[in-house]
Chain A
Amino acid sequence: MNRVVLTPADLLRWVLILAALAVTLFPFYWMVNTSLKPGPEVFQSPPTFFSSNWSFEAYRVVFETRPIGRYLLNSLVVSVGATALSVVLSALAAYGFTRFFVRGAAAFVLFLLFTKMLPETLLIIPYFQIMASLGLVDTYLALILAYSSFALPFSVWMLIGFFRTIPRDIDEAAIIDGASRLQTFFKVILPLARPGLVAVALFTFIIAWNSYVWALVLTTDANMFVVSVGIANLVGEYRVQWNELMAASVIAALPVMVLYGFLNRHLVSAITAGAVKA
């Protein structure tokens, strides 16, 4: 145990860091704090920063009186569906790009980059028109297709990065040993790429889980709302019960927080690959 000596400069550094951290995290503290208060206390002035009456009552009430469970289920189905579709397609594509000389590969990758930068509000117009004419509004399929459209470019991009780290000699060795291309891909390369595949799948899931505009436009029936739309919709109601609303927000935010815990290592590459939904 070596003694840590704090110079004045270090002290200032930590004061600034902690101040910034307080501003960053305070909204989350307030969300949790409010969600644990009983109804009347929410509308107290001055507000209580630490309540002696904390309880999970608001969580129980919001689950019983609102279809929060249903929203969560919708989000889960759509996010898992979009993730599965994107990861399968992008694993194949990333393999193709990193193993073979493909004419126009560079142009395709550039196209991926541009699709990641498209304003989604432009695309929701034709999506709504197409889905309405096909009778697919308020279906999981419409949302899965929409979510995959912005998730796929991102996952192809990230997986190319992962597949590149697997030497091509491994494929060649497998082929010389008599494996077919597809066998090589499924039996040799996919297992090796598993950490990358898991990371990309989790990121894709988060992007889908967090998305809002698409579901806002493509669902009209409250039973089909995903969690972000369902919760934002509660705000518009007469006399919002803020403790219940914050309880619902905690429930919606928690899965994402947990997933990010697993992904810390890949954050930078994911961010630059466009995991950022504006």
Chain B
Amino acid sequence: MTDVEEKRAAAAVPEIVRRRKRIWPVVPIVIGALLVVLLTYTLPPFRNYQLATIGAYFTVTAGLTVLTGLNGQLSLGHGALMATGAYTFALTQNRWLHTPVSFVAAILVTTLAGVVIGLAAARLRGPYLAGLTLAVAVVVPSVTSTFDETFNSDMGLSVALDPPPGTIPMERWQAWLCWTGALVTVLSLATLVRGRFGRDLRAVRDDETAARLAGVDVARTKVLAFVVSAACAGLAGALFAVLAQSVSPGAFPLTLSLFLVMAIVIGGLGRLVGALLGAVLLVALPALAQSAGESSGSQHLEGNLALVVFGVVLVVVMLAAPGGLASIRFNLWRKR
């Protein structure tokens, strides 16, 4: 390529696009952080708690988006990975009562679990991978009751938490913790995905053979994707432990794993905005369904209505708009 051609190629990308690409992940994160702080001061405690829950869900859906959306690996076992993080957090917290250390421990242990599962997962595709991770998701209660001296079976563990500093109410403190986790996660993921790693992920997803021919280490990329998303799930699990101030197998059923997949599919596969949409839906839909159940006076509707709504939305979105809600919005924007 001659000098002139190079200059022409560089000029073809408008300056503003290049600059926006560099700044892009940071700006919405800062705006998001300000928005969360503002909301925590205006919302009543229960809404703060819901906001915190959205943050915790966002942490795991963002990681799952990278794994499933960008790398094409479907995991039904992220509920179990969250349980790993939550139990690690509870155990370390109850022993040393040092929150930052417990968070780090939760992430490290879950990352390790992610390496083990990821090594197996990298060799599998499609239904085989889904089946293996499904088995991981189902195994949580049996682990907690087999080692019941440590995990206390179905009863679970309560989590000792330091009181929030100063006069900050608990719910606001939880919202801050969860959203710090979520925004740090999303910022790291957005940065990671923008570079070479993101290109490798997509290349492996679209065509493994072509990616290998182009010099991408397919196995390494797949394992790394699993490990990264496992770390996110571990952090999210720890945040769940902070939210509930207890951990038990009942908090991480198979449906949680299915909900997570549903959230990223509905939100839009492969887009972090989609992960946010999914996290909001995960909190909003059950709340709406519950109020609908309460107003109808039927106990059976509670919870179950949310399942049905989730399922119907999932099937409809998958059949009608496989790109998810984020892609619909984006296409409309483009057409204008």
Q: Are these two chains actual partners, yes or no?
A: no
